[in-house]
Structure formats: structure tokens, C-alpha cells
Amino acid sequence: MHDVGGWRRERVPDRPTGRPVRIRPDWACEILSPSNAKRDLVDKFQVLQRTGVPHYWVVDPIEQTLIVHRWQPAGYLIVLTAGASDVVRAEPFDAVELRVATLFGLEEDDE
């Protein structure tokens, strides 16, 4: 199971139910923790890549970084790396600007 996942409404109009959810997400996000970093960065990465999840984010609260991957037939391509001081348009939510610090609960003067 991933920390956060999402589906495009045009593909999955109703929230998936059941455990485990058997519908491939369009976006998955892992929030790294020191005790599970290998699982998130290697094991889950391989599962998401093998199943063709279009977008995979890795959020590291210790380093305060965001890495965005886009799936392609040859495997994941890193399309964005950002730190807390950055404002980005991160796939698949690139229609809106995201202040990366917001992911970590930071106010502008906390950076």
C-alpha cells in the first residue's frame, strides 16, 4: 500500500473500494521514513514501475525534497527534483503551482 494514491476521474469516476484496492492508481506518493526507505525507494518503486503507474512521487521529510517520476515504457524518468524553497508545477498536478515547503508544513519564514 502506498502512503497516498489517486485516480483520474475520467478513468475511475467513483472512489475505489475494498482492501486491497485492485485498480492501478494514476499517481502514487511515498513519504520516506528512515525505517522504510529501502522498501519505498526500491521495492515499491519496482512494483509501481512494473504495473505502469503513470506518476510516482517520493517525498523526503528529513531532506525536505520532492522527486517526481513519470512512467514510460523503458521505466521511470525523473522529471522534477525540488527542495523546500522551490515553487513547482509537479506532474500530474501541473495545472497548479505548488510551494514544496507546504508538503512539510513549513511557513515562508521557516525555510
Of 10-19, 43-52, 53-62, 94-103, give the lowest mean pLDDT range: 10-19
Helix (H, G, I), strand (E, B) or coil at 68: strand
**pLDDT of 110 above 60:** no
Helix (H, G, I), strand (E, B) or coil at 50: helix
pLDDT at 80: 98
C-alpha cell at 20: 486491497
C-alpha cell at 101: 515547503
pLDDT digits 0-9 by tens, 73-109 = 999 999 999 999 999 999 999 999 999 999 999 876 5
Q: Which domains does the chain have, with CATH numbers?
A: 4-110 (3.90.1570.10)
- 20: preceding bond cis by omega (within 30 degrees): yes
Residue 15: CB atoms within 10 Å: 8
**pLDDT of 68 above 80:** yes
Distance CA 49, CA 32 (A): 18
**pLDDT of 111 above 60:** no
